[in-house]
Amino acid sequence: MLLNSIKEYDNQYYMNTFGQRIPVAFERGQGIHLWSTDGEKYTDFFSGIAVNSIGYSHPTFVKMVSDQLSRLIHCSNLYYIESQALLAKELCECSCADKVFFANSGAEANEGAIKLARIYFKKQGMPEKYEIITLQKSFHGRTITTLSATGQEKYAKPFEPLTHGFKKVPINDFEALKSAVTENTCAIMLEPVQGESGVYPCELQYLQKVKELCTEKNLLLIFDEVQTGMGRTGKLFGYQKYDIEPDIFTLAKALGGGIPIGAVCAKDHVAQAFSPGEHGSTFGGNPLACTAGLAVMKIIKEEKLSENAQKMGDYIKETLMAQASEKLPVISEIRGSGLMIAIEFNVPIAPHVKQKMFEKKYLIANVGDKILRILPPLIITKQDADDFISTLTEAVNETL
């Protein structure tokens, strides 16, 4: 179908939640590349917002998912599901979690984590412990409750009144966090690296103090790893870079390689708080989604993609910093962890650079006027990184 026809149908029939979209539609992908309906080849350095971490049409993924698709897509959670049990086992054996629950998205996973934290204390005879402290600039989802947890007013304001019981404090300000804790606090929930707001990592000492505070005050520590999980930061899970273990962590995005799936992962003593009937999902953990998760786990492990994310992330950041002092003085800071990277300018050119990159057939994103956000597939090579940096240099210079 021609792009103009797609746009016409979209304008007429789709709710306008995304505004004016970028003028392209894709019909196939291979590796780190996408081909548009016009036959143009693009290089994806945003991975469908950190979803397509194994790239497109990976043969292992395609075979496993296709085989499952031909046999069984869905059956009720009233019955045992082989791939669900195997993926839960795989995730627990690779992490600090003892039990897993599967949902359909990151927002659903975070909603499940919030429910679990609250019911955990209620069943211990402490119903007054229900408040959760989150961080300013955080993003936890678009349900009413996960909007309540999100530390960005622009997302939540139109939908007030929201779910009661959330406090927000600045990232990496331990004293502010400590002061916010009361007898009503049940948990602290945070992203190890804030993604949507511009890639802001939590500092090592800060998170270690947060963990100590949770132990001291009998609080649960929840990590939202919807974006940082599955190798993105250079470790399979973001918490592994900090030498601490959360009581609960959530996954989604890259876990399914493009098939919708989310996960609530928890230590056993916390997970036991859920009794039969207190949480559930019709589609969550279905055979197709869990097979996709198993394929992604297999590929990440066999191809050492977490290690590649660390190696290529370091290379991109170091190379760009060198460029900043020589060819690109408009770059003021490079932030990130693994292949979760922000490029911040000292002048408001980010939207223009993103547009220039699109014209050069690269897909990236901007956050506001000064920040570019890149989330390339974890399969990129040094040559892919060099090509991106060269193209970015051209785009910046053409913008100025």
Residues forming the active site:
139, 224, 253
Return d(Cα 113, Cα 246) in angstroms, integer: 12
Tokens read off for 97: 């979690």
Q: Which phi and psi angles does 9 have, rounded to 5°?
A: -65, -40
Longest dimension (CA), the chain: 63
Task: Give the pairing of strands 371-374 and 340-345.
Answer: antiparallel
- Is the bond preceding 161 in cis, omega lying within 30 degrees of 0? yes
Return d(Cα 391, Cα 95) in angstroms, integer: 38
Tokens read off for 201: 């990592």
Query: Tokens 């408001």 identify what position?
Result: 348
Return d(Cα 10, Cα 358) in angstroms, integer: 21
3 state SS for 256-301: HCCCCCEEEEECHHHHCCCCCCCCCCCCCCCHHHHHHHHHHHHHHH
Tokens read off for 264: 């609530």
Question: CA dist 85 to 91, 109, 285, Å?
Answer: 10, 17, 9
Query: Tokens 């292992």 identify what position?
Result: 60
Neighbours of 397 (CB within 10 A): 13
Half-sphere exposure of 39 (CA within 13 A, CB side): 0
Return d(Cα 299, Cα 294) in angstroms, integer: 9
Across the chain, how many H-helices and E-strands are there?
Answer: 14, 17
Which DSSP letter does residue 134 get? Answer: E
Return d(Cα 100, Cα 118) in angstroms, integer: 17
CB within 8 A of 384, min separation 6: which ones? 32, 43, 376
Return d(Cα 209, Cα 361) in angstroms, integer: 44
